[in-house]
Amino acid sequence: MKTFMQSKETVARNWYVIDAKDIALGRVAAKAASMLRGKHKVTYTPHVDCGDYVIIINAKEVLLTGNKLDNKKYYNHSRYAGGLRIRTAKQMVESYPVEMVERAVKGMLPHNRLGRQMYKKLFVYEGDTHPHMAQQPKAIKVGRE
């Protein structure tokens, strides 16, 4: 019996929606990264982008446990002298919740061309509405089960 290797032409992609309301950021990001990579499929092939499209809604209401709201820091640097900007998780949740969730998912994807290709299939929205209803996404349950 030969090992099945999927090619990019034979990939069948589905759409999934994850509701991040009151669920830990890491759990949401881990589930989304796994779906973007395609690890939930029996046809998973590591060197092929065989993942699905993932929509994350309610990014503003994602849960951060412990003291992460005050202690967790997000760093950006403009590559100019003195261009370091540091924001706490509390500031991110209030002002940039979409970026915070996107960063968490992106950090769990491969850091190469394939990972960048997978990242393009992620859509994060602050509220509970999204413009992808025509794709008929299936709801995915995330959390302690």
Q: Among residues 36, 26, 56, 43, which one has the least CA distance to residue 115?
A: 36
What domains does the chain contain, in order, with CATH numbers? 14-140 (3.90.1180.10)
- Are 37 and 109 spatial neighbours (Cβ–Cβ below 8 Å)? yes
Q: What is the pLDDT of residue 1?
A: 80
pLDDT tens digit sequence for 63-100: 999 999 999 999 999 999 999 999 999 999 999 999 99
Q: What is the pTM of this model?
A: 0.93
